[in-house]
């Protein structure tokens, strides 16, 4: 999984860090593919060591290929622990979910960190995305609540009343669902 900036100059991705400093990206049944040396330099395709089991991952960090330079920027390391603490950058991630942390809060936190690396305008866009997601979620909740009220026998007049709109507006908005 990788994220590209709108001007295509930055490509962000998550690196899985192992105890000896090697880091990988991407996960398959064979394990994590190592792509970065302990000194931060990229490992060329032909020289990549054997994949490693994800249980050996000790930390995560977000990295960016800036203007085509592989791993040109890296965020701070988030370490693996028993309890998640955003302030301490400690994450509790079950072994069987390390291949898809994008869907979990950890993936979002790391992505936000990468977005801030892109500059102040992008940082604001992070807030726009978060607010949009919150609005979408609230809208879904409202639609479900209206459907439940209708199923329970509420009239369009009552639904409109509860939503602060007219009977007709309520019917136009939710009537075809
Ligand atoms: Zn970058």
pLDDT digits (tens, 9 = 90+) for 44-85: 988 888 889 888 889 999 999 999 999 999 999 999 888 878
**Which residues, 6+ apart, have CB-to-CB distance to 39 below 8 Å?**
21
Residues 81 and 10 both lie in one domain: yes
Structure tokens at 86: 């955003």
Residues 67 and 137 both lie in one domain: no
> What is the CA angle 74-75-81, rounded to 5?
125
How far does the centroid of ligand 1 lie from the alpha carbon of residue 42, in Å?
A: 15
**Cα distances (angstroms) measured from residue 50 to each of 1, 35, 98, 133, 147:** 20, 11, 18, 39, 53
Where in the sequence is the domain holding 12, given as residue range(s)? 3-98
Residues 61 and 145 both lie in one domain: no
Residues 7 and 91 both lie in one domain: yes
How far does the centroid of ligand 1 lie from the alpha carbon of residue 3, in Å?
A: 10
Residue at which a domain ends, from 82, 98, 114? 98
* CA 63 from centre of chain: 14
Residues 9 and 76 both lie in one domain: yes
Residue at which a domain ends, from 79, 98, 117? 98
User: What does the alpha-carbon distance between residue 160 and residue 29 come to, in Å, rounded to a whole number?
Assistant: 52
The total number of structural domains in the chain stands at 2
Mean pLDDT estimate for the chain: 87
More confident residue, 95 or 5: 5
Residues 80 and 148 both lie in one domain: no
Residues 94 and 40 both lie in one domain: yes
How far does the centroid of ligand 1 lie from the alpha carbon of residue 11, in Å?
A: 6
On the question of pLDDT at 136 being above 70, the answer is: yes
How far does the centroid of ligand 1 lie from the alpha carbon of residue 10, in Å?
A: 4
Residue at which a domain ends, from 81, 98, 115? 98
On the question of pLDDT at 108 being above 80, the answer is: no
pTM for the full predicted model: 0.64
Residue 109 belongs to a domain: no
């Amino acid at each position: 999984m990788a994220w590209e900036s709108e001007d295509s100059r930055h490509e962000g991705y998550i690196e899985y860090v192992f105890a000896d400093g090697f880091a990988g990206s991407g996960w398959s049944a064979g394990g994590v593919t190592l792509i970065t040396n302990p000194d931060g330099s990229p490992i060329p395709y032909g020289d990549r060591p054997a994949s490693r089991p994800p249980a050996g991952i000790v930390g995560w960090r977000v990295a960016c290929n800036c203007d085509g330079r592989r791993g040109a920027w890296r965020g701070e390391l988030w370490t693996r622990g028993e309890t998640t603490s955003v302030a301490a950058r400690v994450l509790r991630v079950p072994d069987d979910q390390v291949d898809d942390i994008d869907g979990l809060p950890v993936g979002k936190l790391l992505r936000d960190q990468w977005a801030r690396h892109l500059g102040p305008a992008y940082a604001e866009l992070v807030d726009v995305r978060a607010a949009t997601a919150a609005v979408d979620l609230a809208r879904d909740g409202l639609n479900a609540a209206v459907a439940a009220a209708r199923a329970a026998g509420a009239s369009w007049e009552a639904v409109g009343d509860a939503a602060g709109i007219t009977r007709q507006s309520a019917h136009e908005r939710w009537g075809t669902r």
